[in-house]
Amino acid sequence: MAAGCSKTFASKYDEELHYDLEYEEYCKNFEFSNSSTCWICNGYYGPSYGEPLCGTCHAFIFPNHPEGAAEDLVTQMSDDEDSGNDEPPENGSEAKDRSDEDPDDDERERPRPSAPRNLGQYLDMLSQPRESDESQQKICDMPVEVLLAIFGHLDDLSLWNASEVCKQWKRILEVHIPQLMWKKYTKERWPLFQQISTIPNWLHMYGALMNSCFCRTCLLQMALKTPMRGRMNHIRANRLRSDIRSLDRDATEGIDAVALDNQLFHWQASILGPAGSPYEGGKFFLYIVIPPSYPMLPPQVRFLTKIVHPNVSRHGDVGIDIIQHNWSLALTISKLLLSVQSLLTDPYTQICMEPELGRMYENDRLRFEALARSWTWKYAMYEVLPPLDGLT
């Protein structure tokens, strides 16, 4: 009798172990369907080079500036009636960097990232095919002194891309660029990132955060902070002033947002995964673009951090009703972020940004939750689990 129970238990344990290994293997190898080409044009407008959208589709659907920016409407906060307490925060990155700068660090500032190409430039590129260049194979043979001179003209985003080219370049950048500078770059690009644990290598942390994003073109757009010129939009200014106050006054646990430019067009936000969900423990960064006609039109909201969710596209776009169809003037940025956080607990699968994830959620909940939890651990927990050296 005891032997039979033991055999039954062992058999059940083997089945559960096989089941867990099957889930682990599935999560490791999961890819969206049609993930090798642009998911909008299916490669018609050119290769996407590992990005969810090709350059042409991204420039057409997500232009460099918010919709309506051509009207030259600009928000400028005025302090003619206030004591200054209601002024918007300084450039989100600069305000948070000053306290962390080392006065002994005299390295000059890096150039700012260049703007993403516009639609016309991408169309010109399509009409002029690239020519093969055999000299690229010899680029790693260049002397270190020459490489350092070239690297000196690159911004931090380009430097990190250079570190991804080969191990030699990565070692050169690790040796010749201080960790303090990579720490500064990380906090500039991710002002809401909090250092909770010891970070052994800030270059690896910078790279891990970059690789955790859906779209690098959005990262480049988020890095642009050049103010736009034009006449003042007082309605937008007053509303954003109120939104900033509400973010401080009605601060909800796990929700934060900061403006990245003085004109308050570009914002970065963060939400914590709700307890009891497969996203629990993760911190997800979002990119918010405030249009010039806000609050008459809703903001654009995209996940920067990769996440598996039926209502989030592989580009990071959020399919939520209050943004797409039922925007209300009563909604604020904090309420919008709260709705996005609630969506993580209760996905809406009747209309999905990613239908295959919606079907998985409805038909195989355990597999969906295992996959979502796996991506959370992989991409959204760098504050508490820094990347190991060389593993980003």
The CA distance from 212 to 272, in Å, is 16
Q: Which helix (H) or strand (E) holds 256?
A: strand 255-259
Per the CB < 8 A criterion, the answer to whether 240 and 78 are in contact is: no
Give me the amino acid identity at 282.
G
**What average pLDDT does range 6-23 have in this prediction?**
55
- The alpha helices in the chain, defined as continuous H runs, are 2-29, 55-61, 92-97, 119-127, 144-151, 156-163, 167-176, 179-189, 202-211, 216-223, 234-249, 321-324, 333-345, 355-363, 365-379
Q: Where do the domains of the chain lie? A: 30-63+117-138, 226-380
Whole-prediction pTM value? 0.80
Give the model confidence (pLDDT) of 114-137 as tens digits. Answer: 878 777 787 777 777 666 555 555
Per the CB < 8 A criterion, the answer to whether 309 and 349 are in contact is: no
Q: Which CATH number fits domain 226-380: 3.30.70.580, 3.30.1600.10, 3.10.110.10, 3.40.50.460?
A: 3.10.110.10
Per the CB < 8 A criterion, the answer to whether 269 and 252 are in contact is: no
Among 72-81, 179-188, 253-262, where is mean pLDDT lowest? 72-81
- The alpha helices in 110-199, defined as continuous H runs, are 119-127, 144-151, 156-163, 167-176, 179-189
Mean pLDDT of all residues in the chain?
Answer: 79
- Residue 115 corresponds to which tokens in the numbers above? 């703007």
8 pLDDT above the threshold of 80: no
Phi (first) and psi of residue 36, to 5 degrees: -90, -15
pLDDT at 385: 87
pLDDT at 30: 78
Confidence class of residue 306 from pLDDT cuts 50, 70 and 90?
Answer: very high
**What average pLDDT does range 305-328 have in this prediction?**
89
Confidence class of residue 89 from pLDDT cuts 50, 70 and 90?
Answer: very low
More confident residue, 126 or 203: 203
Query: Which of 280-298 are b and which e, b meaning 16 or more Cβ less than 10 Å from the residue's Cβ?
Result: ebbbbbbbbbbbbebbeeb
**What average pLDDT does range 12-21 have in this prediction?**
53
pLDDT at 213: 93
330 pLDDT above the threshold of 80: yes
pLDDT at 140: 66
Among 157-161, 226-230, 347-351, 367-371, where is mean pLDDT lowest? 226-230
Closest CA to 122 of 55, 71, 208, 192: 55
